[in-house]
Amino acid sequence: MPSSRIFSGIQPSGELHIGNYLGAVKNWVALQRQYESFFCIVDYHAITVPYEPEDLRRRTRDMAVSLIASGIDPSACTLFVQSAVPEHTELAWIFNTVTPLGELERQTQFKDKSGRQESIFAGILNYPVLQAADILLYKADLVPVGEDQVQHLELSREIARRWNTRFSPGYAAHAADDESKRSEATSPETGMPAGPSADAAEVQGFFPEPKPLLTPTRRIMGLDGKAKMSKSLGNTVGLVEDPKDVWEKLRPAVTDPARVRRTDPGTPEVCNIYQLHKAFSPPETVDHVAVQCRTAGWGCIECKKVLFENMESELAPIRARVSDIRADEPKLDRILADGAEKARSVARATIAEAKVLMGLA
Ligand code: TRP
């Protein structure tokens, strides 16, 4: 089996917080040498919501700094900014012509976002088409993402199938043949052929159907314990935040509500601090924490102090690397320019072939 290619994208939201670090980036770091990897800061996606140009420029750069400081190694993978590779938007346009409008309107993220805004721009609707283009431009077959992106990836597969059915040599005939043998493979929503299943497909389409590689860490809740950690909710801990500020946030953070008094025993599984221990503390400590919580051996503050120490051992080196990277801006420019050039050489080839198959070249 040929080694798989992975692609993933992250919004240029500025510096990472521990939610997106644990939920996505730490996983990328673990995968980057296992697969041929493309990691992209998706600034064209970011402009589908209102923004300030100077702010976007800064957030894009801060994200690049955070990623490298977290261990994304530009010599092991391809790290780049989406808008530096114009083929992304070129393929997105092509995909717009094979994407059913109904599928876009059905996306939950579109429904959420469009419900919250007064005027809606077409970019919000077409957001997942650009995402499909991101992935398929590199013919990536695996996409490390969290649960919230699964629906977007389903649509990416649908787009790949539709394009392949129309333009990939031999694919449509094979799909039809496959269909007659497996008539149950019809999409319940559309009543359209769902296309050949991966195991039945002997004829490879020009574009592979990308599958999610779900992040092992469950989603990280904010320190209010109410919702997913997210910048817009203001419940984050920054990856490069000053340790004093981190402790100021950690100290009052919500724990198991059953532990009202110091002597009340708790249930670690319902406590957000315990979840953070699982992400940052060594396994022996995690076990010890669970026992101390259940027996009220420790108070929550003691438990948080231990967590804080373990967070510090992981985050202090990242902070140090951030300072180093910031001290050499021209080097960062070179890294991103090299990444874009590496990405472009793959992207150009895909677009050139696709255009020939479509009668555009
Ligand atoms: N939509 C993704 C998010 O908000 C970001 C993204 C853009 C992405 N293009 C992608 C993720 C391609 C995976 C693959 O998190």
Q: Does residue 79 share a domain with residue 138?
A: yes
Q: Whose CA is nearest to atom 6 of ligand 1?
A: 9
Q: How many CB atoms lie within 10 A of CB 4?
A: 17
DSSP label of 53 = H
Ligand 1 nearest-atom number relative to CA 10:
5
Q: Whose CA is nearest to atom 13 of ligand 1?
A: 8
* CATH code for the domain in which residue 67 is found: 3.40.50.620
- For 262-269, the CB contacts below 8 A with 24+ separation are 262/296, 262/299, 263/296, 264/296, 265/293, 265/294, 265/295, 265/296, 266/293, 266/294, 266/296, 266/300, 267/293, 267/294, 268/293, 268/294
Cα–Cα distances (Å) from 51 to 12, 13, 35, 130, in that order, read 12, 11, 34, 19
Residue 100 has pLDDT above 90, yes or no: yes
Q: Does residue 287 share a domain with residue 210?
A: no
pLDDT of residue 191: 47
CA–CA separation, 182 and 176 (whole Å):
10
Q: Whose CA is nearest to atom 10 of ligand 1?
A: 9
Q: How far is the CA of 264 from the centre of ligand 1 (A)?
A: 43
- Tell me whether residue 323 is exposed, middle or buried, using C-beta atoms within 10 angstroms of its C-beta: 0 to 12, 13 to 18, 19 or more: exposed
Q: Does residue 129 share a domain with residue 12?
A: yes
Q: How far is the CA of 143 from the centre of ligand 1 (A)?
A: 9
* CATH code for the domain in which residue 315 is found: 1.10.240.10
Nearest to 107 by CA among 71, 156, 69, 74: 156
> Which pair of tokens denotes residue 189?
């929503």
Q: How far is the CA of 177 from the centre of ligand 1 (A)?
A: 34
- DSSP E strands in 68-220: the ranges are 78-81, 142-145, 211-214
In DSSP terms, which residues pair with 186 in a beta bridge?
193
Q: How far is the CA of 114 from the centre of ligand 1 (A)?
A: 18
For 38-97, what is each residue's pLDDT tens digit? 999 999 999 999 999 999 999 999 999 999 999 999 999 999 999 999 999 999 999 999
Q: Does residue 216 share a domain with residue 75?
A: yes
CA–CA separation, 326 and 61 (whole Å):
10
Mark 179-196 as b/e (b = at least 16 C-beta within 10 Å).
beeeeeeeeeeeeebbbb
pLDDT of residue 67: 98
The answer as to whether 211 is a domain residue is yes
Q: Whose CA is nearest to atom 3 of ligand 1?
A: 10
CA–CA separation, 238 and 232 (whole Å):
13
Task: Return the amino acid letter for 123.
Answer: G
Span of 196-210, 264-278, 325-339 with lowest mean pLDDT: 196-210
The answer as to whether 227 is a domain residue is no
CA–CA separation, 154 and 134 (whole Å):
14
- State CA 304 to chain mean position distance: 28
Question: Is the pLDDT higher at 308 or at 180?
Answer: 308
pLDDT of residue 59: 98
Name the residue range of residue 275's domain. 240-322
CB 168 within 8 A of CB 207: yes
Active site residues: 113, 228, 231
The pair phi, psi for residue 214, each rounded to 5°, is -65, 135
pLDDT band at 116 (very low <50, low <70, confident <90, very high): confident
Q: Whose CA is nearest to atom 15 of ligand 1?
A: 10
Ligand 1 nearest-atom number relative to CA 146:
15
Q: Whose CA is nearest to atom 8 of ligand 1?
A: 9
The answer as to whether 225 is a domain residue is no
Pocket of ligand 1 (CB under 6 A): 7-9, 11, 42, 45, 131, 134-135, 143, 145, 149
The answer as to whether 194 is a domain residue is no
CA–CA separation, 359 and 361 (whole Å):
6
Q: Does residue 256 share a domain with residue 136?
A: no
The answer as to whether 12 is a domain residue is yes
pLDDT band at 202 (very low <50, low <70, confident <90, very high): low
Residue 159 has pLDDT above 50, yes or no: yes
The answer as to whether 255 is a domain residue is yes
Q: Does residue 211 share a domain with residue 268?
A: no
pLDDT of residue 329: 97
> Which pair of tokens denotes residue 257?
């509500």
Ligand 1 nearest-atom number relative to CA 131:
9
DSSP string spanning 125-169?
Answer: HHHHHHHHHHHHTTT--EEEE-GGGHHHHHHHHHHHHHHHHHHST
Nearest to 195 by CA among 253, 154, 139: 154
Average pLDDT of the segment spanning 172-195: 57
Ordered strands of the 142-145 beta sheet: 78-81, 36-41, 5-10, 142-145, 211-214
Domain total in the chain: 2
Rounded to two decimals, what is the model's pTM? Answer: 0.90
Q: How far is the CA of 235 from the centre of ligand 1 (A)?
A: 22
Q: Does residue 249 share a domain with residue 112?
A: no
Q: Does residue 340 share a domain with residue 306?
A: no
pLDDT band at 215 (very low <50, low <70, confident <90, very high): confident
For 233-275, what is each residue's pLDDT tens digit? 889 999 999 999 999 999 999 999 999 999 999 999 999 999 9
Q: How far is the CA of 43 from the centre of ligand 1 (A)?
A: 11
DSSP string spanning 329-359?
Answer: HHHHHHHHHHHHHHHHHHHHHHHHHHHHHHT
Q: Whose CA is nearest to atom 11 of ligand 1?
A: 9
Ligand 1 nearest-atom number relative to CA 24:
15
The answer as to whether 269 is a domain residue is yes
Chain mean pLDDT for the chain: 92
Contacts of 124 (CB under 8 A, 6+ apart): 48, 49, 110, 113, 114, 117
Q: Does residue 258 share a domain with residue 119?
A: no
Q: How far is the CA of 82 from the centre of ligand 1 (A)?
A: 11
Residue 185 has pLDDT above 90, yes or no: no
The answer as to whether 149 is a domain residue is yes
Q: Does residue 337 share a domain with residue 297?
A: no
Q: How many CB atoms lie within 10 A of CB 316?
A: 11
Q: Residue 36: which H helix or E strand, with range?
A: strand 36-41
Q: Does residue 269 share a domain with residue 294?
A: yes
Q: Does residue 253 share a domain with residue 140?
A: no
